[in-house]
Amino acid sequence: MTQDDARVEVHEDAAALSTAVAGELLSRIADLQAAGDVPHVVLTGGTIAEKIHHEITRLAPESGVDWGAVELWFGDERFVAPDSPDRNVAQARAAFIDAVGVPPHRVHEMASTADAADVEEGARAYEAELEQHGPEVFDILMLGAGPDGHIASLFPGFAQLDVSDRAAVGVTGSPKPPPERISLTYPRLNRSASVWFLVSGSGKADAVAAALGGRDLHEIPASGVTGRDETIWFLDRESASGL
Ligand SMILES: O=C1O[C@H](COP(=O)(O)O)[C@@H](O)[C@H](O)[C@H]1O
């Protein structure tokens, strides 16, 4: 699969986009559960993710999802103190995980500074967690994208873009604060049945157009991730304005 095979879904604004993604996610999870699976879903951080997470909580009661039978993973994490609001897991917990009641053992969070000496140790620990509890292929991988085209914590020009033998890596000197992070790598991100990009706002229009245009992943990291079954770009009008 390449970005040429991706589907693009454009919504009016960030609110409409959030409602659509939350609804689609709930219905996919419910369908997978109805088929007897325990879905493995990879969450992302960022501004649109937070809106989507609140929508998940709002729509959850009508969804039929069994929150005791969902495994949640993270595409990246900020390597900061466990109680820092900068942590992607903290944002996801506050917006939906705690509200819907996903059991703690099903929430696979990446290390904080309390759990690991540095980002490398944290990345190794997440690789071990994936090895022990992870699926062969994630069911749904959600990715926000930055104005520079970064996804997870894979940034343009960074050495992590060329890592082929690791599932997770440490990142230092991130151009977007906080500087220390842990990220899944391309080989692991690309073991996903469905890849959903979640992007809103005019500041990301150029990056969206470049990724969908197939720009080299070293310049636009978002170019380098596709799903085995489907790749969907969930956009609002502003982020789609360069297409
Ligand atoms: O730092 C990060 O940024 C991206 C996008 O965030 P946004 O605020 O521009 O929407 C996010 O996908 C990533 O998980 C996060 O760590």
Its ipTM equals 0.97
Domains annotated for the chain, with CATH where assigned, are 3-236 (3.40.50.1360)
Ligand 1, residue 45: give the atom nearest the CA: 14
Ligand 1 center to residue 99 CA distance, Å?
Answer: 22
- State pLDDT tens for residues 38-94: 999 999 999 999 999 999 999 999 999 999 999 999 999 999 999 999 999 999 999
Ligand 1, residue 176: give the atom nearest the CA: 1
**Rounded Cα gap, residues 86 and 173, in angstroms:** 16
Ligand 1 center to residue 35 CA distance, Å?
Answer: 32
**Rounded Cα gap, residues 111 and 136, in angstroms:** 22
- State pLDDT tens for residues 132-174: 999 999 999 999 999 999 999 999 999 999 999 999 999 999 9
Which residue's CA is the nearest one to ligand 1's atom 8?
Answer: 46
45 lines ligand 1 (CB under 6 A): yes
47 lines ligand 1 (CB under 6 A): yes
Amino acid at position 46, single letter: G
Ligand 1, residue 147: give the atom nearest the CA: 9
Instruction: Report CA-CA distances (Å) from 123 to 16, 91, 164, 188, 211.
Output: 35, 20, 14, 13, 26
| pTM of structure | 0.98
Q: Two tokens at 234?
A: 């969930």
